[in-house]
Amino acid sequence: MNGKRSYDQQLRLIGQSLEARRINIFELKAHGDRYVVRGDPEKGPSLKARLRDWTERIRGQALGSSMSYALADFEPLDRQARLRRRKPNRLPDFYSLSNTLRTVGSYLDRKGAELLEIHKRPLSLTILYQNQDGHPDMEERTIASFYNLFIDLYGKRGRKN
């Protein structure tokens, strides 16, 4: 990744990391070139999911602890994500956390805003950012309200390939 901040890519990679940990409801705070995320994994109804949670606690991987992502973390995360990608030409699932965060990142990039915080809930999110004039701004939005932007972005990516 180049030195220019690209929220769409950074937030997509954070979303993929959170998906792998089964974290869907969280609080993300930007601190300079670092992001700190606090959230709890979803409780799986299956015995297998409960067993996995139990073994993670035994190994010392505390559930609900904060995770930190620095700019240096994004390159290896991006390489891993590229290896996992299948069917690159199909329409991705908008409601996956990584695509939702990618779309929100693109929204911030288009506004020229500086991200301060994101609070993600099951159907909505709150975005706190600093606008181009340096003033703080807050938006409470449903996830579905970003769908048209997602379709627009996907169309542009499709034309690039």
Based on the number of CB atoms within 10 Å of its own CB, is 147 exposed (0-12), middle (13-18) or buried (19 or more)?
middle
Residue 145 lies in a domain: yes
Q: What is the Rg, in whole angstroms, of the alpha carbon atoms belonging to the chain?
A: 16
Residue 30 lies in a domain: yes
- Return the pLDDT at 2: 37
Other beta carbons within 10 angstroms of residue 82's beta carbon come to: 9
- What residues make up the domain containing 45? 7-160
Split into its structural domains, the chain has a count of: 1
Residue 2 lies in a domain: no
Distance CA 30, CA 105 (A): 13
Residue 113 tokens read as 């805003």
pTM over the 0.85 mark: no
Phi-psi bin for 22: left (phi > 0), alpha (psi -120 to 50), beta? left
Residue 1 lies in a domain: no
- Residue 54 pLDDT > 70, yes or no? no
What is the band of 122 on the pLDDT scale with cuts at 50, 70, 90? very high
Q: Mean pLDDT throughout 145-153?
A: 92
